[in-house]
Structure 1
Amino acid sequence: MPGSVDGLGLLAIIRNRWPPIALVVTSGQIEPAVEDLPAGARFLAKPYLQRQLGQHLHALTR
């Protein structure tokens, strides 16, 4: 991401402003540690299958 905020920083901002929003983090370069993700966020490594994304979204919206 361009600018001073990286993806994990953006997630923290979203979690603080809108706590109920479900978050799925994707990356093809890094795999963040669980403790680096906001509470309730899920990580999905790229490349991923549509089925995998669907599983994460389903788990987050139950």
Structure 2
Amino acid sequence: MTQDAPGDAPHALVVDDDVLILMDATSILEDAGFKVLEAMNVAQALEVLGEHHEAVQLLFTDVHMPGGADGFELARRTAENWPHIAVVVASGNAKPGPGDMPEKATFIGKPFSPEIVRHHVRKTLPDDKHPEPLKS
């Protein structure tokens, strides 16, 4: 699902199987200036990335989701296949162990606030990739 945003806004992909958290993260990233794509599991996320990877600047993913693969695997596959995409992984239950996340990815715990998300996105994305609202 694509949400409305300015046409030149960078894209973010939000992946979470909890609809309320998906909506919350989408809203936070839209307010930060992203055009947001959504997926509810790893298979959907990989499909979206396969189609839109050139426009996507940020992956924001949960860890535990249905379908076998988890957010750590999605983060690693994204970094391997599309290294230009910054990765933020969030979970309320899991903590990353050695080798779980790509080198430049960041991890945040749930529940998260808009301030925490914006801070980690600023830290993870290169400065020249920050949407206008994140630059301030």
Structure 2 unaligned residues grouped into runs of 5+: 1-64, 128-136
Deviations 1:29-58 (A, max 9, x none): 111136421110000000111101111111
Select the residue among 71, 80, 83 that pairs with 1:16: 80
With the length of structure 1 as denominator, give the TM-score of the two structures: 0.86
Higher relative contact order (CA 8 A, sep 6+): 1
AA at the equivalent of 2:95:
E
Return the alpha-carbon distance in structure 1 between the equivalents of residues 79 and 67 of structure 2: 19
Identity level (%) = 35
Cα RMSD (Å) = 1.3
With the length of structure 2 as denominator, give the TM-score of the two structures: 0.43
When Rg is computed on C-alpha atoms for both structures, the one with the higher figure is: 2
Higher strand share: 2
Aligned residues: 62
Structure 1 unaligned residues grouped into runs of 5+: none
AA at the equivalent of 1:59:
K
Q: Residue 41 in 1 paired to residue 109 in 2?
A: no
User: Quick check: 2:72–2:100 contact (8 Å CA) kept in 1?
Assistant: yes
Deviations 1:13-41 (A, max 9, x none): 11111011000000011111364211100
